[in-house]
Structure 1
Amino acid sequence: MTAKSQIDLELRPAELSDSELVADLETARNPEDPRDPAMQRFWWTADPAAEVRTRLIAELDGVAIAYVMARHAAWKAGVRRFGSIRIVLHPDHWTVSRHQHLIEIAESWLKSEGCETVVAMVGEKLENELRVFDARGCREVRRGRQWELDLIANRDRLLAGAELSRKRMVEQGVRILTLDKDADPNRLADLYEVWDAAEHDIPSTVPIPVTPYDEWYHLWFENPGVCSDRLWIAREGDAIVGLSAIEYPPVRGFPWTAFTGTSPAVRGRGIARALKYETIAQAIGLGSERVRTQNDGENAPILHLNAEMGYMPIDPVLELHRELSE
């Protein structure tokens, strides 16, 4: 590629057709976590309707070398105005000044929108990027814990754990099954209610907006990485009380747990554990070698479960904040 000093970044608005280029750029930035192009395209189609955003991209010889994203939810009176940014530079063209410049572009757009606090998520291993954010006055406010489970080394123990959880659920009268085997005509509406309650129980500094049903449906049932025969639910009586699913990238990358959660009223009974074990047993049956998951660093119950199942910590993600008034 051309030497760094010879490159001027010519940013243009990114279109949906650029999503594959950005997936390749994300993979070049972090080869240990390859970005799937089909999933990248899907996530761009899943932007909340109430969200305001901008995406910019720069190319060189048909390869994406820079990507800038800034977005925010609809502003509400009396609620602090948070905006998120994502800055990606190809490692062959990364410099401190370029990274600073792209952050300034994203922050300037958010400031023009009335944003008060900028949020960036950066992996702990991306030390050069973190130094740039630190120099701008960004501070770490939360930490997302990421984990990887070796399904080959832990196979027998995991399958035994799944069997034990099945027995405990039978003793409690809880049924664990995949959504495609559930015949209740109201299952999706019920599932949405359980998911929404569990989603808003996740520890967070930035307010979690309510996802309308149609957007939730798109996230789960038009997602190329999720299908109904791999989405596990828990039923007690007529009620759905929990769900868990692994997202399998169609092209490249690792399977990741998309979500695990239960209704508040049934927590502490091992139902989330049973659901998660079923997704892992299924992943083993499908031939997956590893599964990854991410959880907030303050979510003690799920962190304990990850450790029990044999997940090993990998690169955490730092949530950085900067006040635009500073």
Structure 2
Amino acid sequence: MDSLYIELSQNLKEKPNADALGFGKYFSDHMLTMDYSLEAGWHDLKIVPYGPIALDPSAMVFHYGQEVFEGMKAYRTSKGELVLFRPDMNLKRLNASCERLSIPTVDPSVLLQAISKLVNIDESWIPSGEENALYIRPFIIATEPCLGVRASHTYKLLVILSPVGPYYPEGIHPVSIYVEQRYVRAFRGGTGAAKTASNYAASIKAQEDAKKSGFSQVLWLDGVESKYVEEVGSMNVFFKMNGEVVTPELSGSILAGVTRDSVIALLKSWGVPVNERKVSIEELVEAHKQGLLEEAFGTGTAAVISPIGSMKWGELELSIAGGKTGELSKKLYDTITGIQRGQLDDPLGWRYTIE
């Protein structure tokens, strides 16, 4: 890769009100771009003014969906430092997604340095507010103009920044979820473990149907038996049953979440029993009947921790933790966000300071 070229924008945007950001609606002044070809590899690394990109109508991303992406956040601590949370894991996962989609991998150290520079340039876009942050979206698309069914020979990597508020309007309040029985998001051997657009496109219909019925999210079951719990929408999922925390194992159809990994590490450090294994929907129903289903929550970069207050499976409706935020969910949320924002010590070395 060659050196980083920087072109600063001459037309800076007006920043949105920090109290009404929503999620992913506004974008900063600059973006990062880099191109790939078989001859040159990854090259032409640039930070340029945010704006449209030109693609041929026959660009392969439009026809065969070769695309991967990541989600990260930047924060400003009380000391004024700019920090990221475990960016090494995000870039490792980006490359794992690239390998599954036959996309050339990227040097993570070069990309992290370039992202750090981009955040430095647009640091004024980091919004104030306890639950606000600057969302970082790296993504790679296939750009070769060709209709042959094969891997593209050219690609473009981009990184865009978006000031965001809480992913859910509820914030750290319990959400209601609907157990999906008709549609399938992913299955073992597919692309469920990769962070690629097609996984999310496959989930939209079920998500729309759930929202029409008053639910915030969909709980996905496995694609073979429709029996085992996998993910909650765009999050991994955890259940506290009889004092033990259980989360679905990474079987090849579930995304290896950075927040998921962080939660498991924290629970172990606190001495809380945690088990990665298969979890059937019947087991959850039975635990609820016996009064053993104590808490449930989703985890992800966007929401961090999202407590689950109720769950509907067929005609059964399960109230969890009395429809309130559980003690463990709240502790995890406070700990992770405290580390992210520099309010708590970082004993596991997760906070990355941008110089």
- TM normalised by structure 1 equals 0.32
Q: Which has the higher contact order (CA 8 A, sep 6+)?
A: 1
- TM-score normalised by length of structure 2: 0.30
